[in-house]
Chain A
Amino acid sequence: MLTIKNLKAKVEDKDILKGLNIDVKPGEVHAIMGPNGAGKSTLGYVLAGRDGYEVTDGSAELHGENLLDMDAEERARKGLFLAFQYPVEIPGVSNMEFLKASVDAVREARGLEPYSSVEFIKLAREKSKAVNLPADFLKRGVNEGFSGGEKKRNELMQMMLLEPSLCILDETDSGLDIDALQVVAEGVNALRSPDRSFIVVTHYQRLLDYIVPDYVHVLADGKIVKSGGKELALELEKEGYRWIEGETV
């Protein structure tokens, strides 16, 4: 699904990713943990093709295709989805309009007809219900005035509508109340399938009780410094990152 080899990237002349390797197979869930400022969000941005993030070495392939050559929107159309750590507001553009533009664009790239407005409204209502957002959120501006938790649920709703093959969730659990955490976890678990993979960035073991990962990686200072199974998250919770830093030195 996703193969990242020796990936190095910089932002504003600052090296952030310093030779990173990950191999995600179809159906797998990989958790990435690591200290603040380690480069977790940067990894998401680099994979999603954000401007200003310059890849200086290495490669990243999605379904065997070179991701790094594509525009951000092309990557999205190829099935890469990034749920943002800090979702941005777009005042005046209704959530419904935004979602339709997005789903139409992605469907078009897959050779599918756009939904009719009626079909789409029905579908969007269904998904908003699934993430526990009242239907009137569809009429509001994109994330406009949404609470932190509502924004995260809105991200999840977009993911459900777009049916991506690679989902990167950047701290989707941060700022969620306990019920919402469960809603998000259920949403993700419902989407799990043999041909869909997840990279879940989180600081908390708690989420991984609900979304059980196949692998856990520790990202520190731009590199994966340790990988393991789901037990690794438990150890980290107990010992903190110092334990790893001690080990790698």
Chain B
Amino acid sequence: MSEEVKQYIKSEYKAGFVTDVESSTIPVGLSEDVIRLISSKKNEPEWLLEWRLKAYRAWQEMTEPDWAHVTYPKPDFQALSYYSSPKSMEENRPKSLDEVDPELLATYEKLGIPVHEQEVLAGVAVDMVFDSVSVGTTFRAKLADAGVIFCPISEAVHEYPDLVKKYLGSVVPQRDNYYAALNSAVFSDGSFVYIPKGVRCPMELSTYFRINEAKTGQFERTLIIADEGSHVSYLEGCTAPMRDENQLHAAVVELVCMDDAEIKYSTVQNWYPGDAEGKGGIYNFVTKRGIAHHRAKISWTQVETGSAVTWKYPSCILKGDDSIGEFYSVALTSNHQQADTGTKMIHIGKNTRSTIISKGISAMTSQNSYRGLVKMNPGASGARNFTQCDSLLIGDRCGAHTFPYIESKNPSAIVEHEATTSKVSDDQMFLCQQRGIDPEKAVSMIVNGFCKEVFKELPMEFAVEAGKLLEVSLEGAVG
């Protein structure tokens, strides 16, 4: 693209500040002792420690996968700390939001997240996870009135042990893959959600993950159970300070969607992407999967703008007859970012249906890959999939790649795949400018137009946010 437009290069990451709080961080390194230490800090029951150790032993036998279309130096797992918590959250743990260190809450306020229940975005309950711990959860009482459980998973372990024991690892087993095994061994906080039978969750639920400490990794674990006929919409957001070193984020999310239930899971991922030279940024290696029983519906919507390297395939196991899986994704990469993302739709039940809409946007020298598996098992009679995979290139130094995998073992199943690649052309830019529109606005308008189908799947409050986020992520990416 033109020189003139290139001048707009001044990538700005607005969430890059560091919160100045005293933290207690365990020494770097990974061993069975470290796992015991994490477990004891959380006062966990014996079964969970054993569960972690089993995962750790499995992990040691595994090797890091290298099939994704990304290149990065392998993380040094002995150079990381696996647990870091603000001191104020340790000694005399606050019993309510009012007792939480204001400095911590200010972090979330600065990120535009409603931490007080009386705020404008009051239709949203928030769990705030700071490094390895949850620092507070809003609207718990109101949700409890409806029978909905929304709390940090470390609390759920104590308060709802039966549910946790039954479902933890039921969708993503400990040895599922390299990073899932690592997460199972060292996971710290994340959210736990249970929606009882027939209940429509009265509010949006959301979790904001913040990495703050240097030299730490974040290994959150989220478990959402929607009992029969229930309904929930959940959103996660994530940000981190700007640092020269790469930081590891390896999460596991499990969704259990019982008969006739519906889970809508949205992600706005804005981890620090690294600077314009490719220095720093988060390695985002995430396993997300849901299981849908009879007539259940799981819908994943993701807007991915951050991280240096992303490796993530939110998936649906369509086990029950007539169950539905959806995946709507916008993945934007700029500068030196690399993303290998997509989904897996595993059709097991009869008449299961899945829809995949993926929009990849690459700018500067970034690499953006869609990787998706659609699998029709022998029993999946009458199953259908529709996949549409569009790539948009900004400039001519970036790359877009599509890796679709289709395995069909049932002749009555129908799989459709469409793919397009287009460019933001100089002609389009000139048309906008000739009509008085400045180049940055023009690019963001074109990109937003390209993503429209996905944005309309986001909860209302966040669709606007997502559009703005793209705009910021593209600032300077017109090159």
A106 B436 Cβ-Cβ under 8 A:
yes
Q: In the complex the two chains form, is B438's CB within 8 Å of A105's CB?
A: yes
B431 interface neighbour in A87, A97, A106, Cβ under 8 Å = A87
A48–B446 alpha-carbon span in the complex (Å): 21
A160 to B360, CA, bound (A): 36
Interface residues of A (CB under 8 A from B): 48-52, 71-73, 75-77, 81-82, 84, 87-94, 97-98, 101-102, 105-106, 109, 141-142, 158, 162
Q: Is the CB of A93 within 8 A of B446?
A: yes
Seen from chain B, the residues whose Cβ lies within 8 Å of a Cβ on chain A are: 2-5, 422, 425-428, 430-439, 441, 445-446, 448-452
Chain A residues whose CB sits within 8 angstroms of the CB of B436 once the complex forms? 73, 76-77, 102, 105-106, 109, 162
A119 to chain B minimum Cβ distance, whole angstroms, is 18
B445 touches A93 (CB 8 A): yes
Q: How far is the CB of A174 from chain B (nearest CB, A)?
A: 18
Check A73–B433 contact: CB distance below 8 A. Answer: yes
The docked-state distance in angstroms from the alpha carbon of A138 to that of B431 is 17
Give the chain A neighbours of B452 by CB distance below 8 A.
92
A105 touches B437 (CB 8 A): yes
A97 to B447 CA separation, bound complex (whole angstroms): 13
| A109 surroundings in chain B (CB, below 8 A) | 436
Partner of A90, one of B2, B431, B438, B441: B431
Report which of A50, A71, A93, A162 forms a contact with B449, defined as CB distance below 8 A. Answer: A93
Q: Are B430 and A51 in contact (CB under 8 A)?
A: yes
Give every chain A residue within 8 A of B433 (Cβ-Cβ): 49, 71-73, 76
In the bound assembly, the distance between CA atoms of A76 and B285 in angstroms comes to 47
- The answer to whether A71 and B4 touch (CB under 8 A), given A82-B434, A105-B436, is yes
Assess the B450–A51 pair: CB atoms within 8 A: no
Chain B residues with CB under 8 A of A92: 446, 448-452
- The complex places the Cα of A94 from the Cα of B448 at a distance, in Å, of 11
| Residues in chain B near residue A72, CB distance under 8 A | 430, 433-434
Compute how far the CA of A84 lies from the CA of B432 in the bound complex, rounded to whole angstroms: 12
The answer on a CB contact under 8 Å between A90 and B437 is: no
Minimum CB–CB distance for A146 against chain B, Å: 13
* With contact pairs A76-B434, A102-B436, A105-B437 given, residues A141 and B449 touching in the complex (Cβ less than 8 Å): yes
13 example contacts (A-B, Cβ-Cβ < 8 A) are as follows A52-B2, A52-B426, A71-B4, A72-B434, A73-B433, A73-B437, A76-B433, A76-B435, A76-B436, A82-B434, A90-B428, A90-B431, A105-B438
- Among the interface residues B433, B439, B448, which one has the most CB atoms of the partner chain A within 10 A? B433
Residue from A75, A84, A141, A142 having most chain B Cβ neighbours under 10 A: A142
Tell me which residues across on chain B come within 8 A of A101, comparing CB atoms.
432, 435, 437, 441, 445
Residues in B with CB closer than 8 Å to A141 are 449
Q: Chain A's nearest CB lies how many Å from the CB of B157?
A: 46
Question: How far does the alpha carbon of A141 sit from the alpha carbon of B430 in the complex, in Å?
Answer: 17
**What's the minimum C-beta distance from A244 to chain B, rounded to whole angstroms?**
31
Can you list the 8 inter-chain pairs with the closest CB atoms, starting with the nearest? A92-B449, A93-B449, A102-B435, A72-B433, A51-B2, A105-B436, A76-B436, A88-B427
Instruction: Tell me how far the C-beta of A63 lies from the nearest C-beta in chain B, rounded to whole angstroms.
Output: 16
Write the nearest CB–CB distance from B267 to chain A, whole angstroms: 22
Please name all residues of chain B whose beta carbon is closer than 8 Å to the beta carbon of A51 when the two chains form the complex.
Answer: 2-5, 426, 430
Whether B445 pairs with A48 at a CB distance below 8 angstroms is no
Alpha-carbon separation in the docked complex, A50 to B439 (Å): 12
Asked whether B449 lies within 8 Å of A90 as measured between CB atoms, the reply is yes
Output the least CB separation between A219 and chain B (Å): 21
In the assembled complex, how far is the CB of residue B102 from the closest CB belonging to chain A, in whole angstroms?
39
Question: Which B residues are CB-close (under 8 A) to A93?
Answer: 445-446, 448-449
Contacts of B434 in A (CB 8 A): 48, 50, 72-73, 75-76, 81-82
Beyond A50-B434, A72-B433, A141-B449: 7 further Cβ-contacts under 8 Å? A82-B434, A98-B437, A101-B432, A101-B437, A106-B435, A106-B436, A158-B435
- Across-interface contacts of A50 in B (CB, < 8 A): 430, 434
B428 to chain A, nearest CB (A): 5
- Contact present for A88 and B437 (CB under 8 Å): no
Among A48, A49, A93, A106, residue most surrounded by chain B Cβ atoms (within 10 Å): A93
User: Which of chain B's residues have a CB closer than 8 A to the CB of A142?
Assistant: 431
Q: In the assembled complex, which residues on chain B have CB atoms less than 8 Å from the CB atom of A52? A: 2, 426
Given A51-B2, A71-B4; A91-B435 close (CB under 8 Å)? no
Within the complex, which residue of B422, B437, B439 is in contact with A91, where a contact is CB–CB below 8 Å?
B422
Q: Which residue of B lies closest to A74 (CB)?
A: B436
Q: Are B438 and A73 in contact (CB under 8 A)?
A: yes
Q: Is the CB of A91 within 8 A of B450?
A: yes
Alpha-carbon separation in the docked complex, A90 to B430 (Å): 11
Question: How far is A158 from B446 in the complex, measured between Cα atoms in Å?
Answer: 18
Could you tell me the distance in whole angstroms from the C-beta of A41 to the nearest C-beta in chain B? Answer: 12
Flag if B450 contacts A84 (CB, 8 Å).
no
Contacts of A158 in B (CB 8 A): 435
Report Cα–Cα, A141/B428, bound state, in Å: 12
Decide: A91 near B449, CB < 8 A? Known: A71-B4, A105-B436: yes
A50-B5 Cα distance, complex, nearest whole Å: 12
Q: By CB atoms of chain B within 10 A, which of A84, A88, A158 has the most?
A: A88
Rounded to whole Å, the gap between the CB of B303 and the closest CB of chain A is 16
Q: CB-nearest residue of chain A relative to B439?
A: A73
Give every chain A residue within 8 A of B427 (Cβ-Cβ).
88
Residue of B nearest to A168 (CB): B434
- Residues from chain A with Cβ under 8 Å of B422 in the complex: 91
- Inter-chain contacts of A87 with B (CB < 8 A): 431
Q: Given the complex of chains A and B, what is the CA–CA distance between A145 and B433 in angstroms?
A: 22
| Bound form: Cα–Cα A95–B61 in Å | 57
**B451 contact set on A, CB distance < 8 A:** 92
Contacts of B430 in A (CB 8 A): 48, 50-51, 72
Q: Which of A73, A84, A102 has the most C-beta atoms of chain B within 10 angstroms of its own C-beta?
A: A73
Q: How far is the CB of A169 from chain B (nearest CB, A)?
A: 13
Query: Complex: how many Å from CA A87 to CA B426?
Result: 13
CA distance A93 to B427 in the complex (A): 15
Residue in A52, A87, A98 with the greatest tally of chain B CB atoms within 10 Å: A98
Shortest CB-to-CB span from A35 to chain B, Å, is 24
Q: CA–CA, A48 to B452, complex, Å?
A: 31
